[in-house]
Amino acid sequence: MGRGETALGRLKIIMWQFIFRRLLTLIPLLFGVSLLVSLLMYLSPGDFLTQARAAKDIDPSFIEQTERQLGLVDEAGNPTPWFIQYGHWLANVSPLKYGPWVGEFDKGLFLGNPYFGESWTYKIEVFDLLKQRVPATLILSLTSILFAWTIAIPLGILAAIYKDSIFDRISAFFAYAALSIPEFFLAILAVYFAAVTGLFPEGGRSSIESEFLPLGLQFVDYIHHLILPTIVLGIGGIAGTMRIMRANFIDCIRSEYVTSARAKGLKENVIMFVHVLRNAINPLITSLGYAFASLLSGALLVENVMNYPGLGQLIYDALIREDQYVVMAGVLVGVTLLVFGNLLADILLGWIDPRIRVDSGQTEQKEKNYSSWLFLILFSLIGGEILLESFFPSCLMVIVQFFKWVGLLLLFLIALGCIALTIYLLLILAKRLLVPIFKRTSGAIAFSILAILYFLSGFASFFAPYPVSEQNLSFPYHPPSHIKLVNGNFEVLMMERVEVGLAQYEVVDRSVPLKFLSKSEPYDLFGFIPMSHKFVQLDSVNPNDRLYILGSDSTGRDIFSRLLYGSQISLSIGLIGISITLVLGFIVGSIAGYYGGWVDFSAMRLVELLMSIPGLYLLLALRSAFMRPELSPVQVYSIIVVILSIIGWAGTARIIRGMTLSLRNRSYVQASRSFGVPVWKILVRHILPNIASYLLVAATLAIPGYILAEAALSFLGLGISEPSASWGLMLRQSQGNMIVFFMNFWWMLLPGLAIFITVVAYNILGDVLRDIVDPKIKI
Amino acid sequence: MSVFLSQYFSFITPLVLVILALLNSGCERKINYERTHYPLPKGIDISECEIGEYGGIFILNETTQPTTFHPQVPNNLSTGMVLSRLFSGLVNYNPKTELFEPALAESWTVSDDGLAYTFNLRKGLLWSDGHPFNAEDVIFTFDCILSEIVDEVTGDKRPLYPSRYYQQFHINDKPIKYTLIDTYTIRFDLPKTYAPFLYDIGVAILPKHILGFSFDSGSFMKNWTTQTAIECPESIVGLGPFKIFSYKPGERLVLEPNPHYWRSDRAGQRLPYLDYLVIKFVSEANTAIAHFATGKSDASGVGAEDYGWVNKAADIYEFSIINRGPSSSVNFFWFNQNPGISEDGIPYVEPYKYAWFSNKYFRKAILHGFNREGIIDAILFGKGEPLHSIIPPSQGEWHNPNVKKYEYSKEKSREIFESIGFTWNQEEKLIDVLGNPVSFNLLLVESARYDQIGITFVENMKELGIEVSLERSDFATLLKRTDGTFDYDMTILGWGSSSAAYDPSGSKALYLSSGAYHMWYPNQKSPATEWEARIDNLIQLQENTLDRQKRISYMHEVQAILSEELPLLFGYTPYSYVGIKNKWQNVYIPKAGSILWNIDEIWEGVKLP
């Protein structure tokens, strides 16, 4: 008995140690994230006083006073460098203060309240603002997880028990569908649903009546407001959770203890729900931490569309308005929530499954060494920068120039690497995987859909009847043209508006034949091949005869043509983005895995830093740092690709590192090393071919993420801009614009369908690939 | 088993019922507001409105949050809207009679020379906290606006508490004088005849008993932040029809009647009739309209492009949409005509471009080539009209209908280009006299609406052989570039007036060549052209006479000059629609400005069609 107690006691101590250690790692993490965000905010043009400065009725002296108070300018009125601004923020936030600094009069070292600054938009302290917003997002995230799990776990179990039945197929199909609908698109549909049926509020957190209601009813009212956002946010999670649940359950059913339990004559129900379920649910709990990360990102979009006053909406608004302190504090809270989410998942796991022990910290000593070195290097870098900027500002410019050139060179090399790697992977695909893909129906279908999409997108200017932005102001919201077959010829029925004031059309008694492969206005295919024929056109010279295969938008532009041109951006961003990601991920991951030691340690800390910030938060922060209004569409496009890859490579690097780590000690690698083969050759010749198939699977499953991210960014109005087209941007026209719903202009939602089809196809293809390569890998 | 189930149900049913009740009751729920009836003061203003009944919750949507509850802290439009419900001024503009009416001042007299205004205040009024109101408060308010201190560094005088009103109460750089005559009388002395004085004098009066202390201690501007409204709304004390009940940033602001408001109806019921005025915050205008169209708010402006579909729901949710005709909002393009040189010695506009932009025929040709009618047709569904003058038709007599008009005509545009020596090359590109191809940037505020206008403009110019590229920025950056760094070719802006009380002096900064809003070339030391000098002169003339007809004729001349010289390429003015639920009584919708100008008189009656 006494023994048992001590064991339990030790376990408790280990647990507490573990929690304590994890919380301790939070400090450098928060430090790093805040520094990163502060730098990004510093780089972005303008600050939160820009608007105040532009308003002419605000006295300049008032602005100067504020600037000084916030440490944006020094005593002489010159803008302060970033480290002073960050220092100000740090000094304000830290409970241990050393005065006096601007705005504070206490002298010496003292303890004070952490002060997160004031929101410029809301004019209240950031801390008070967060106090209102964080619980809202937290509750929404929790209800979404709860919702997703209560639906996904039973469905996953059923799918596993009745494996390969029709039920399994249907549920798999729904899982793909749910996984592939962009959250913001679903949110638009939900708002529409709420508006039309009146069953649910269209947004907000509480109804007006709740002001005057007793507490109990206020609670009911709150739940009523939570239902729709929860469903929208949770649906994406259902699919993932269900797939994991099903796979685990199948694994567990096949394990030996099930066989022995059956042999023992236990009831099937007991086996399934007492033995199998408990084991199968573990990986789900591990995924909880990740689920939380994606929920925070998703919440940003859903909160914005559904007008739910949470953290995401706050951060988005604050980023747009350069409300610096809100962004800093908001992102930090997001990161902290994530860390706590992961911690909670680990503790839960330890509690549910006593076999899993939190690591007892044998490698700790080594890591401590590394981390102190890492910190030393980091601090000396930052210190050096500060010294340079304070004393030799001109020297700094030279260094910046130097880095610019080195960066360009690197960029060029990476671009070369991308092309090489893409070709290599495509070759692998063709050689090893194409045949198996086509042996499976779903694989063949998905592959063909993608092939057709990319073909159409490549020849967009040939297939599109009109240039990307050719308007016709007489035909706003023209419905899809009616086409009929007359004597073997296709004829288009012309339509006219019923009355000028409305966008309602009726067919008039006049039709224009279609002509195929006929002469057109000259254009350049791929931007350089001069062409003068188009696939399909109206046989008419009257500019008011227009062919709208899929309807027109608010200025009479052809949706079909725009969808084709938009696909060039939406589809290519995924490919280019993933190739950059793979190259970066391969370089960092394989080197880290191959060398191990401090290289590995520092690379992984960088990866963790990037992965600890909710993706969309980082995306928006990077975007505001690098985007300038004067950029051309091509530049905007490249910046978006680069930003997406910067965020994406971390996860890939981690996977590749793991694989390299296991390959490193294989005899053929050891052998080449002993022959003195240079490292890069080993990596490229021996490691790469062995992980190529895995890379391909990872890439296929990751591309939808890029497509969705671009769509989300453009949808928020922060990505591709008019008159260029991208699917996300086209959907933006129907966001909140109730005219689309109330007048039933359904064709405005087609870009959402296009995104959906592409993403479904990629997901199915990725799954098929995974089955072919190795059904057990977790990517 | 059945027993087990029913047990379950007995627990669930009430819950379901409660939820259903909540779903259905929604707006029908009667909330009983407990009013305290204080005796009416002697000086009460008796409204001539139809006598109504107490009750009702009026819900409005707003897209921006109030930034402060302090009338003198720099703020935005939405803040102004909220503050006007909480505070009152000496006079009020009545859009029905188009005259200024007594508010806190029972009456006023103007001296024969037009220089002295004497205001007699209403007697016996109380602040919303019950403290008596008198002339001291008015004096205090103007002290807050006009007090000066000497700057330690420069030695110049500057306002103690900088606010937008500081400049407003300076006429020709001299402050107005205000004198306390007795507890209920104040006199204002103007340095010079100034026609729009009554238009300016209606600033919110502040309570000395609340803010007097902070005025002395220097923390005056730190009062009444949004935090105050959240934590301690009762400390924000005003004379307006409402006071703050609760404020939840990002969600809503709830106002309740001020029990000491200075107006009553003829039956002796103190106004306002409403139980609550709720201002709901939504993220964007589209959501606000959707809420109205689905019966979730009581009144809303409806854009011309939304009229069609919103009106479809009018019968279901029992509201009507009223056409107010051309709105008071205008938009216009302009070319950068600043001949100056930046700090780096580079001209703001390249000389060859400057030659185009400063040529009025070039501008006329561009305007002729811009399909404004098409935009109205497509984007506004025909519910708007091209703008021909800077003062839109909604401003009644002030608008000059006989100005030069520029209709869409590619032929006319080409004719004008030819007449000033421009030609087209083989690729159909427009070439200027010196052989430069014509191309420029159009700077836009990032928004869907401006995107549509901008894209149409680009397409129109393409047809004339002109290459226009779009550049987008946020509003603040755009303003910085158009009046600070001047690095732009062309841009477009729109503005609307939120107030029905229109006076041309309100946009003086646009007309005067020295003005900050003289868009195409602001802050000129001396007028760059003769016609700008003439406009400067006309603006001075209209300000220094009290004769309305004379002022109107001066402003007509200003408009004629502007449309002949065309420094601003006018866009269009959409028709303006407002929707309001049928149940509200005493609603009078003015041609321009807020439809809730008489919110204190509005009451919830039977639902009339």
Instruction: Please state, in angstroms and rounded to a whole number, the distance separating the CA atoms of residues A689 and A526.
Output: 32
* Contact partners, residue B224, CB within 8 Å, separation at least 6: B68, B69, B70, B73, B235, B236
pLDDT at B609: 43
Report the residue from B225, B291, B310 with minimal CB separation from A123.
Answer: B225
Which is nearest to A719 in space by CA: A615, A630, A620? A620
**What is the rounded CA–CA span in Å between residue A713 and residue A620?**
8
Going by DSSP bridges, is the β-strand pair B252-257/B242-248 parallel, antiparallel, or unpaired? antiparallel
CB–CB of B290 and A124 under 8 A?
Answer: no
* Beta strands, E only, A639-778: none
Q: What is the mean pLDDT of residues A574-590?
A: 86
* Chain A closest-CA separation from residue B68 CA (Å): 7
First to last CA, chain B: 55
3 state DSSP class of B105: strand
The distance of A694 to chain B (nearest Cα, Å) reads 42
Chain A residue numbers with beta carbons less than 8 Å from the beta carbon of B381 are 476, 500-503
Locate the DSSP E strands across A106-243. Answer: 108-111
Average pLDDT over residues A23-30: 79
Closest CA to A475 of A484, A466, A483: A466
Confidence (pLDDT) at B7? 37
Alpha carbon of A80 to those of A222, A379, A385, A534, B249: distances in Å? 45, 20, 14, 58, 32
The size of chain A, in residues, is 779
How much is the pLDDT for A56?
55
| E runs forming strands in A303-418 | none
Q: For residue A633, how far is the Cα from the chain centroid? A: 22
- CA atoms within 13 A of residue B429's CA, in its CB half-sphere: 10
Alpha carbon dihedral B168, B170, B172, B176, in 10-degree steps, equals 130
Angstrom distance (rounded) from CA A758 to CA A741: 24
**CA-based nearest residue in chain A for residue B69:** A123
- Does residue B364 contact residue B533 with C-beta atoms inside 8 Å? no
**CA–CA dist A553, A562 (Å, integer):** 10
In whole angstroms, give the CA distance from residue A253 to residue A261.
11
- Predicted local confidence at residue A71, as pLDDT: 66
Number of H helices, E strands in chain B: 18, 29
Residue range A120-148: average pLDDT?
Answer: 82
Interface contact flag, A313 B22, Cβ < 8 Å: no
Instruction: Report residue B53 as tokens.
Output: 């009944």
The Cα B413–Cα B368 span in angstroms is 5
A60 pLDDT band, cuts 50/70/90, is: low
φ, ψ of residue B183 in degrees (nearest 5): -55, -25
A469 touches chain B (CB under 8 A): yes
Sort out which chain A residues have CB atoms less than 8 A from B170's CB and list them.
none
Strands (E), A39-147: 96-99, 108-111
Question: Under 8 Å CB-to-CB from B360, ≥6 apart: which residues?
Answer: B564, B565, B566
The rounded distance, in Å, linking the Cα atoms of A254 and A238 is: 24
Q: Which residue has the higher pLDDT, B118 or A366?
A: B118
How far apart, in whole angstroms, are the C-alpha atoms of residue A739 and residue A90? 48
Q: How many angstroms separate the CA atoms of A719 and A185, rounded?
A: 16
B144 membership: H or E segment, kind and range: helix B135-146
pLDDT band at B412 (very low <50, low <70, confident <90, very high): very high
Taking CA atoms, B14 is separated from A198, A210, A224, A683, A778, in Å, by 22, 19, 16, 67, 47
Mean pLDDT across the stretch A473-490? 82
Query: Residues 6 or more apart from A3 whose CB is under 8 A from it?
Result: none
| Averaged pLDDT, A196-225 | 76
CA distance B398 to chain A (A): 25
**Dihedral sign, CA of B91, B92, B93, B96?**
negative
CA-based max dimension of chain A:
97
pLDDT in tens, B104-147: 999 999 988 888 999 999 999 999 999 999 999 999 999 998 88
Q: How far apart are CA B515 and CA A15, in angstroms?
A: 70
Distance CA B69, CA A651 (A): 48
Gap between the Cα atoms of A260 and B581, Å rounded: 72
Q: How far apart are CA B456 and CA A515, in angstroms?
A: 28
Interface touch B159/A199, C-beta < 8 Å: no
Q: How far is A698 from chain B (nearest CA, A)?
A: 37
- How sure is the predictor about B230, in pLDDT bands with cuts at 50, 70 and 90? confident
Does residue B535 sit in helix, strand or coil? helix
Q: Using a pLDDT cut of 90, give the percent of chain B over it.
A: 28
Which segment, A43-52, A105-114, A116-125, A525-534, is predicted with the most confidence on average? Answer: A525-534
User: What is the ipTM for the molecules in this complex?
Assistant: 0.70
> Does the beta carbon of B517 lie under 8 angstroms from any beta carbon of chain A?
yes
Residue B556 reports pLDDT greater than 90: yes
Q: pLDDT exceeding 90 applies to what percent of chain A?
A: 1
Out of B59, B226, B307, the one facing A123 most closely (by C-beta) is B226
* pLDDT level of residue A5 (50, 70, 90 thresholds): low
Q: Do A56 and B291 touch (CB under 8 A)?
A: no
Residues of chain B found within 8 Å of residue A725, distances taken between Cβ atoms = none
With a CB cutoff of 8 Å and minimum separation 6, the contacts of A72 are: A47, A49, A79, A80, A85
CA-wise closest residue to B454 among B561, B370, B557: B370
Q: Are B549 and B538 in contact (CB under 8 A)?
A: no
Provide mean pLDDT across the span A186-194: 80
Selected residue of B309, B323, B376 to mutate for chain A interface (largest A Cβ count, 10 A): B309
Q: What phi and psi, each to the nearest 5 degrees, are found at residue B200?
A: -90, -25
CA distance B271 to B258: 9
B2 band by pLDDT with thresholds 50, 70 and 90: very low
Which residues of chain A lie closer than 8 angstroms to B306, CB-CB?
738-739
Whole-angstrom CA distances from B84 to A138, B69, B205, B239 are 37, 10, 11, 10
Short-list A709, A633, A307, A357, CA closest to B62: A307
Query: Using the beta-carbon criterion (under 8 Å), do A736 and B284 form an inter-chain contact?
Result: yes
Q: Are A203 and B282 a contacting pair at CB < 8 A?
A: yes
Q: Would you list the DSSP string of B265-291?
A: -TTSPBSP--SEEEEEE-SSHHHHHHH
What integer is the mean pLDDT of A105-126?
69
User: Whose structure tokens read 């096949």?
Assistant: A254
Give A204→chain B minimum CA distance, Å.
7
Q: Which residue type does B77 have?
A: L
Longest pairwise C-alpha distance within chain B: 97
Measure the CA–CA gap between B387 and A654, rounded to whole angstroms: 61
> What is the average pLDDT across A515-525?
78
pLDDT tens-digit map of B471-520: 887 777 788 788 778 889 999 888 766 565 677 777 888 888 888 788 88
* pLDDT reported for residue B285: 75
Backbone angles phi, psi at A96, to 5 degrees: -95, 115
